[in-house]
Structure 1
């Protein structure tokens, strides 16, 4: 399984430095390009995790986001420039993809 990163160059550069090869750089605020690349990435059976900027993810049509929430693979992880309480979302993503609640007490 591969990890795919989709976003502006400033967003993707750190992932490139970590050695991730499946990177799609999107021109700033080009949501049509993002949607096109995102849909192609979802259909790629080699990709297990897709990391996108939360701002771009919010521009995806609601019906597609609802469909993604039900999929086991790929798992879509959104990251934000702002600090937020995303721990619960990450917990749900891991539980859905692994089938185990790692934070269960």
Structure 2
């Protein structure tokens, strides 16, 4: 089972995670997101040590259709997005995908 958390995003986004001890990260400056984000995400997806990938929700818009589809359907590593209007419904779906059950299932 993969143990590492990986963070992808702008240097400002990844810095807090790095200070908290996250060792796997890919810095992609804002001006290079359209060119380098797909490569950074693909590289992190291929890293067998990474079990969770954290990205800013707004960065999903910069991914190509193929890479975005891959991360949205990936079970391991699972993608968790933060900020930018990622509502509880999105987080709920991410948790459901990660553990296989809906913890908040309505009766």
Q: How many angstroms does 1:27 deviate by? A: 2.1
Instruction: Determine the structure 1 residue equivalent to 2:103.
Output: 102
RMSD between superposed Cα atoms in Å: 1.7
| Aligned 8 A contact 2:56 2:82 in 1 | yes
Q: How many angstroms does 1:85 deviate by? A: 5.4
Instruction: Determine the structure 1 residue equivalent to 2:23.
Output: 21
Give unmatched runs, 5+ long, in structure 2: none
1:8 aligns with 2:10: yes
Distance 1:67 1:9, change over 3 A: closer
Q: Deviations over 1:30-86 (max 9, x none)?
A: 122222111111111211111112222211112322232222111111222x4x351
Distance 1:68 1:26, change over 3 A: closer
The equivalent position to 1:70 in structure 2, one of 48, 73, 83, is 73
Superposition misfits of 4+ residues, deviation over 3 angstroms: none
State TM-score, norm by structure 2. Answer: 0.83
Q: How many residues align?
A: 103
| Aligned 8 A contact 2:57 2:81 in 1 | yes
Give unmatched runs, 5+ long, in structure 1: none
| Residue aligned with 1:36, SS | helix
| Residue aligned with 2:40, SS | helix
> Could you say which structure has the higher helix fraction?
2
